[in-house]
Amino acid sequence: RKKAGGRGRGKKAKAATKKSKTLEQFPLVTGGELREYQMKGVRWLISLYQNGLNGILADQMGLGKTVQVVTFLSHLRQKGVLGPFLVVGPLSTLPNWVNEFQRWTPSVPCLLYHGSQVERAQLRAEHMPMGPCDDKFPVVCTSYEIIIRDRKFLQNYQFKYLVVDEGHRLKNNDCMLIRELRNIPTANKLLLSGTPLQNNLSELWSLLHFILPDVFSNLGQFQSWFDFSSVGTDEQTQEAAEAERRRLVVQKLHSILRPFLLRRIKNDVETSLPRKKEVIFYAQMTKQQVDFGRALLDKSIGALLKRTNGGQPVKSVPQLNNVLMQLRKNCNHPNLITAQLERHTEYPTSEELIEQCGKFRLLDRLLTKLKADGHKVLIFSQMTHMLDLISVHLEAKGETPFRIDGSIPWQERQENMRLFNTDPTKFVFLLSTRAGGLGINLVAADTCIIYDSDWNPHQDLQAMDRCHRIGQIRPVHVYRLATAHSVEGRMLARASEKLKLEKVIVTAGNFRHDEASTSSLCASDVLDMLKEEDDIKDGVQQSVDISDKDLDMVMDRDDLLGKKAPYPAIGPGWEVVTEATGSALLGSVA
């Protein structure tokens, strides 16, 4: 007993020492202890400030960029630089900013500048006086939309620091947000982005021009720095010459960015974070889905519905001008199509939902097992109608899911997140991929189900990081659902292959990802991806629905705890996704 007590006292003393170290360097940070890499990040921000440089903090999502900025701004205030400071970001992130200031630096006032025009005028009158800034002037947190609306008022302040959360939104140099931000007087700028810089040189230049306009003043000159078209000899193969040009571009980019861009990843700095595994489950189509798929390609969906509706004519037939979207809806659930065509006012029953759709049947199997094993789950979909159907199914089973989509007010979002994270009886949280991918912390969940994938992979990565982030104490499983032998299954398979083989093409000073976007698919591509016969390229993972025995094996997490050897990476109905480290400064460019 004495030894145990001694160890306990030793741990407490050690914790106190660590805490005093944080307080010693940053006296206003009283709400917790920063990790060592976060302390280094704050010192890097201080160094930028002391050298008169603007910068980009690009730590991987979930590593605490917000708390690093909160600590940095508190340091400036403690040194007598009282502001004013302006934080701009998506509306969904703003409550989190306010909460982080209140938690970590309660002595630093913070204001959520939002609401109606009258409410904002009242906030300015009560909390944002003109003239010299004192210690009562709050850190102002506001959204992109309010910046555009209230620029004429905000430009009357001399802001000491402008922080732009999700800074990669500024990649278009002609966008209205950039134009309005340039009209707001700011001494220093900091961009935050958990998404690696990528795509093309003009977008990268737009970010650099915003933070360092004197250095990166001309796009043409910037592009000329990367013109290595003359590299390569006649003796070299085209592939070797291309590889050398790519190496030179990456080398040049890193040398340019290194002074004012900092990026760390979870695998490097957050060694205590539990492991994560992503699995793709493939569901077989029901007969109704197969028939709908054929009808969509034949453009005879109206006739099919007339036949399946007891011979009664349907009320309307929409213009199926986006075949790809209709095919994806069919993969998610046929009701997404029939409800639109037949103007249904009632949702199908839980039993009908399961019977009509293979993917929904798979979701029900997963949820039944997850519930029995005591897990908490996040379910993401891009379609709010799909979230409606899942909600109907859950409610029929006695569950009351929480939900976040674009229509949910931020106050309700905050309360839903608080209840989900603190109430052990709450099982499921439904989120739209775009609305639920930013500024949301749901570490009470240890399972993320992506019901339908976003063709921008960074959107899904942000979704996963709602639960795989600092504060998570259990291994995390990500289940990505797809429909086998379909446009969805095949596009996912193509994307997977392209991620493995992704490369940079350098032409006339530009680099881009050699991958086709879904918007550029021609009709023949879409038809080709919905061939009726089984394609051998689909592989064993799309051959059948996963068996109950294999499902038990794949959903077991003991391999992530080191208690079991990993199971096979591919099997009938599933495949494990190799986790990309994301360590590169520029994502897949490096």
**Cβ atoms < 10 Å from Cβ of 570:** 12
Instruction: Give, for all 590 residues of the chain, the pLDDT tens digit.
Output: 333 344 444 444 444 444 457 777 888 888 888 888 899 899 999 999 988 889 888 887 778 899 999 999 999 998 888 879 999 988 878 888 998 999 999 999 999 999 889 999 999 999 988 888 888 999 999 988 888 888 889 888 999 999 998 876 776 666 788 888 888 888 899 988 876 554 456 777 778 888 888 777 777 777 776 665 555 555 556 666 666 666 676 666 667 777 788 888 777 777 777 888 889 999 998 888 888 887 777 665 555 455 555 555 444 434 434 677 888 888 889 888 887 776 666 788 888 888 989 999 999 999 999 999 999 999 999 888 899 999 999 999 888 888 888 777 777 888 888 899 888 888 999 988 777 656 677 888 999 999 988 766 666 767 777 888 777 888 889 999 988 888 776 666 555 544 433 323 222 222 222 233 333 444 444 444 444 433 445 678 888 888 889 998 888 888 888 888 888 888 898 888 865 433 333 333 32
Q: Give the C-alpha separation, 431 to 404, whole Å.
A: 5
Query: For the chain, first and last CA: distance in Å?
Result: 54
Q: Give the C-alpha separation, 146 to 276, whole Å.
A: 37
DSSP one-letter string for 244-301: HHHHHHHHHHHHHHGGGEE---HHHH-TTSPPEEEEEEEEPPPHHHHHHHHHHHHT-H
Q: Which residues pair with 396 in a beta bridge?
A: none
Nearest Cα to 284, choosing from 551, 570, 542? 542
Residue type for position 244: E
3-state secondary structure of 427: coil
DSSP letter at 191 equals: E
Q: Give the C-alpha separation, 417 to 471, whole Å.
A: 14
Give the pLDDT score at 144: 87
Contact present, 487 and 285 (Cβ < 8 Å): no
Sign, CA torsion 117/118/124/127: negative
Q: Give the C-alpha separation, 55 to 47, whole Å.
A: 11
**Cβ atoms < 10 Å from Cβ of 523:** 10
Which domains can be identified in the chain, with CATH numbers? 20-218+259-269 (3.40.50.10810), 276-589 (3.40.50.300)
Burial tier of 585 (Cβ tally within 10 Å: 0-12, 13-18, 19+) = middle
Q: Give the C-alpha separation, 229 to 506, whole Å.
A: 8
Contact present, 526 and 366 (Cβ < 8 Å): no
Q: Give the C-alpha separation, 428 to 534, whole Å.
A: 35
DSSP one-letter string for 71-97: HHHHHHHHTT----EEEEE-GGGHHHH
Burial tier of 290 (Cβ tally within 10 Å: 0-12, 13-18, 19+) = middle
Q: Give the C-alpha separation, 546 to 485, whole Å.
A: 15
Scored b (16 or more CB within 10 A) or e, 487-502 reads bbbbbbbebeeeeeee
224, two tokens: 């000329």
DSSP letter at 207 equals: H
Nearest Cα to 379, choosing from 398, 409, 352, 359? 359
Q: Which residue has the tokens 């979870």?
A: 266
Nearest Cα to 82, choosing from 93, 94, 74? 74
DSSP letter at 52 equals: T
Radius of gyration of the chain measured on its C-alpha atoms: 26
Which residues 6+ apart lie within 8 Å of 417 measured at CB? 402, 440, 441, 442
Give the pLDDT score at 348: 83
Contact present, 509 and 222 (Cβ < 8 Å): no
Nearest Cα to 466, choosing from 209, 92, 103, 213? 92
Give the pLDDT score at 163: 93
31, two tokens: 């709400």
DSSP one-letter string for 343-379: T--SPPPHHHHHHH-HHHHHHHHHHHHHHHTT--EEE
